Amino acid sequence: MTIIDLIIIIPILAAVAIGCGGSARVLALAAAWANLLLGLVVFVTLVAKGGDEMHFKSSWVLLHSPELTLGFAVDGMSGVLVLLTVIVTFCAVRVSSGDLGKGSGKLYYISLLLIAAGALGAFCATDLFFFYAFHELALIPTFLMIGIYGNGREKVATAWKITIYLGVGSLILLGGLIALYVSLSPPGAPTFDIAKLAPSPGEHPLSAEVQKWIFLPLLVGFGILVSLFPFHSWAAPAYAAAPTPVAMLHAGVLKKFGLYGMLRVAMPLLPEGFEAWKGLLLVLLLGNILYVGLVTISQRYLDRMIGNSSVMHMGYIFLGIACCNSIGWGGAVLMMFAHGISIALLFALCGSLRERLDTLEISRLGGLGGSMPFLAVTFGFAAFASIGLPGFANFASEITIFFAAFKDAGEMGILQVATILALWGVVISAVYMLRAYRSIFQGELIGERYPADLAQSMRLPVVLMIVILLLTGFFPNIILKLLPNLFEVL
């Protein structure tokens, strides 16, 4: 049993222990701490050994035909996402309020731990089947969390929407993955092992036409899971309705599954399939950046605004993926990390605002900076990070992606045009974030109450996330240098 197996199994065991009658919050915190430490160990090991190869391999063959292996391993890319997951999980468990009813508090923490375990399993699986299966593990916990503990009047409708939307997305994805493994397996030996499916460089067994049609369900399936325009409408309402830790985990971590799948499965295995749909993808991601960006500006509620901003930023990551070179993909992974942390931070702060205020309608708030200085300052950091101001990892990743689009570009192609249009997204981000910040925290205090500042228990996770964003912003190489290998496949 390797350290990666431990990381995946600890949350599951903790969930089982809670179910069997253990103390929910204590066990969840213990699991989160353990995972955070183990995740750091994994990350440090990867830094020491380099991210080119798979480390901490483990595998149990479950079936021989088709070859099905319960196996886990990490390379640089999955290592970064594992780190992201353990950090966000830790913070999400920390910010969960402990005063839930006895019976239901159990369900709450069990769901949280299962969502985390599902994400970790999906990021580390070396087998296409379990890559898919672990992601689906989060479906029921999310449904229950939004339905039982959600906010707002629309929580029931929202819970159904996200469940069915993501259910359809994963089924389409499953169809694509089956077609993929059937077509790419070596003759007579069907296998789900991602490494064995990878075509040898230079000679791809499938024609461009076949690749094109297998790529489509993958793009649509992953696209739905990542809220690619026009499949994005589930995301913002769901994050607004979800309890804070679920919004943090879902927007911060789980959504990265689709992007990870693009980078791990779709792009390397079907390079020509991507070429066929590149134009379409560029149009769609501009839809994310520009259309959803404008939608974000027009939001009246803070939680919806943050949710939409998260949808918008997915466009940049897709842009990085579409660059098809190592700089762009490195930028995309860095942005997955940076966005994961910054959106979790925003949702954490938004959640504590929700606890203290009657409404999150931006125009009815004002002057809160006076009574909650700590929250105001940290929210400022989060907002700047989200806009992509220099010094934060978000800036480093965005700039990397924009540069990558122009690498080796002799003339203006569609990619370059799309990138120039996408640059306007930065302006859009600045507009809605700064407007919201000014309206909420500055100016005259609206209302008579002076809400309390951020609770002590929240401060550690919030500061932790800010420090990580700054650290990786000033030294993006910590992450980037783990990622060189992915891209030689093309």
Partner 1 sequence: MLPYYLEICVVVLGSLMLCMELFAGRRSRAKIAMVGVAGLGVIFALLMFAVCSPGEDLQYWGIYHFDKWAAFYKGLALISTLLVLVMAREFAPVFKHYTSQDEEKSGIGEFYCLPIFVCSGLMWMASAKDLVTIFVSLELVTMGFYVLVAFMRRNVGSLEAGVKYLILGALSTGFLVYGIAWTFGVSGTFNLEELSVVLAGDDIPSAPVMFAFALLIAGIGFKIAVVPFQIWVPDVYQGAAMPVTAYLSVASKAAGFIVFLRVVDPFLAAPSIREPAIYLMVFVTCATLIYGNLAAIAQKNIKRLLAYSSIAHAGFLLMALPALGAAGTIAGPGPESAISFYLAGYLLMTLLCFLVLTVVRVATNGEDLTALEGLGKRSPFLAFAMLVGVASLAGIPLTVGFFGKFFLFNIAIQNAMQNGLWIVVFLAVLGAATGFYYYFKIIRAMYWEGSVSEGEVTGLKVGRLAMLAIILLVVAVFFFGIFPAPLLGLTL
By CB under 8 A, residue 90 contacts partner 1: no
By CB under 8 A, residue 297 contacts partner 1: no
Query: Among the candidate windows 75-83, 143-151, 284-292, 294-302, which touches partner 1 by CB under 8 A?
Result: 143-151
Binding residue (CB under 8 A) for partner 1 from 22, 50, 147, 366: 147
SS3 206: coil
By CB under 8 A, residue 160 contacts partner 1: yes
Least Å distance between CB 263 and partner 1? Answer: 22
Q: Are 265 and 218 in contact (CB under 8 A)?
A: yes
By CB under 8 A, residue 70 contacts partner 1: yes
* Residues 309-348, mask of contacts with partner 1 (x by CB under 8 A): ----------------------------------------
Residue with tokens 């940290």: 378
Least Å distance between CB 5 and partner 1? Answer: 14
Task: Give the tokens for residue 380.
Answer: 């400022």
Crossing angle between the packed helical segments 414-441 and 373-387, to the nearest 10 degrees? 170
Q: Which is nearer to partner 1, 172 or 462 (CB)?
A: 172
By CB under 8 A, residue 38 contacts partner 1: no
Q: Which is nearer to partner 1, 170 or 309 (CB)?
A: 170
**What is the spatial distance between Cα 332 and Cα 318, in angstroms, rounded to a whole number?**
7
**What is the spatial distance between Cα 250 and Cα 91, in angstroms, rounded to a whole number?**
13
By CB under 8 A, residue 156 contacts partner 1: yes
Phi, psi dihedral angles at 228 (to 5 degrees): -70, 135
Which secondary-structure segment (H or E) carries 38?
helix 24-49
By CB under 8 A, residue 144 contacts partner 1: yes
Query: Among the candidate windows 88-96, 175-183, 397-405, 476-484, which touches partner 1 by CB under 8 A?
Result: 175-183
Q: Which is nearer to partner 1, 216 or 368 (CB)?
A: 216
Q: Which is nearer to partner 1, 66 or 451 (CB)?
A: 66
By CB under 8 A, residue 104 contacts partner 1: yes
Task: Give the tokens for residue 313.
Answer: 């930023």
Binding residue (CB under 8 A) for partner 1 from 78, 96, 151, 185: 185
Q: Which residues lie below 8 Å from residue 102, measured CB to CB, with a gap of 6+?
A: none
Task: Give the tokens for residue 316.
Answer: 């940049």
Task: Give the tokens for residue 192.
Answer: 């789900």
What secondary structure, in 3-state letters, does 334-374 show? Answer: HHHHHHHHHHHHHHHHHHHHHHHCCCCEHHHCCCHHHCCHH
**C-beta neighbour count of 356 within 10 angstroms:** 17
By CB under 8 A, residue 109 contacts partner 1: no
By CB under 8 A, residue 137 contacts partner 1: yes
Task: Give the tokens for residue 278.
Answer: 């590149």
Q: Give Cα separations from 129 to 139, 182, 311 (angstroms).
A: 16, 12, 27
Q: Where are the alpha helices (DSSP H) in 50-101?
A: 76-95
Binding residue (CB under 8 A) for partner 1 from 38, 54, 179, 455: 179
**What is the spatial distance between Cα 454 and Cα 456, in angstroms, rounded to a whole number?**
6
Query: Among the candidate windows 170-178, 303-311, 354-362, 381-389, which touches partner 1 by CB under 8 A?
Result: 170-178
Q: Which is nearer to partner 1, 147 or 287 (CB)?
A: 147
The site that binds partner 1 (CB under 8 A) totals a number of residues, namely 41
Task: Give the tokens for residue 426.
Answer: 């930065």
Q: Exposure string (b/e) for 458-468, b if CB count within 10 Å is 16 or more?
A: beebbebbbeb
Q: Which is nearer to partner 1, 103 or 410 (CB)?
A: 103
By CB under 8 A, residue 174 contacts partner 1: yes
Task: Give the tokens for residue 128.
Answer: 């296409």
Q: Are 255 and 343 in contact (CB under 8 A)?
A: no
Q: Are 162 and 234 in contact (CB under 8 A)?
A: yes
By CB under 8 A, residue 59 contacts partner 1: no
Least Å distance between CB 149 and partner 1? Answer: 10
* Residues 15-34, mask of contacts with partner 1 (x by CB under 8 A): ----x---------------
Q: Which residues lie below 8 Å from residue 402, measured CB to CB, with a gap of 6+?
A: 419, 422, 423
Least Å distance between CB 260 and partner 1? Answer: 17
Q: Which is nearer to partner 1, 164 or 460 (CB)?
A: 164
CA torsion sign for 285, 129, 118, 329 is negative
By CB under 8 A, residue 143 contacts partner 1: yes
Nearest CA to 311 out of 323, 331, 296 is that of 296
By CB under 8 A, residue 66 contacts partner 1: yes
Q: Which is nearer to partner 1, 160 or 475 (CB)?
A: 160
Binding residue (CB under 8 A) for partner 1 from 1, 99, 103, 207: 103
- Which residues within the stretch 188-247 sit at the binding site for partner 1 (CB under 8 A)? 190
Q: Which is nearer to partner 1, 155 or 313 (CB)?
A: 155
Query: Among the candidate windows 131-139, 233-241, 243-251, 306-314, which touches partner 1 by CB under 8 A?
Result: 131-139
**What is the spatial distance between Cα 303 and Cα 186, in angstroms, rounded to a whole number?**
49
Name the residues that contact partner 1, by CB under 8 A.
19, 62-66, 68, 70, 103-104, 106-107, 129, 132-134, 136-137, 139-140, 143-144, 147-148, 156, 160, 163-164, 167-168, 171-172, 174-175, 178-179, 181-183, 185, 190
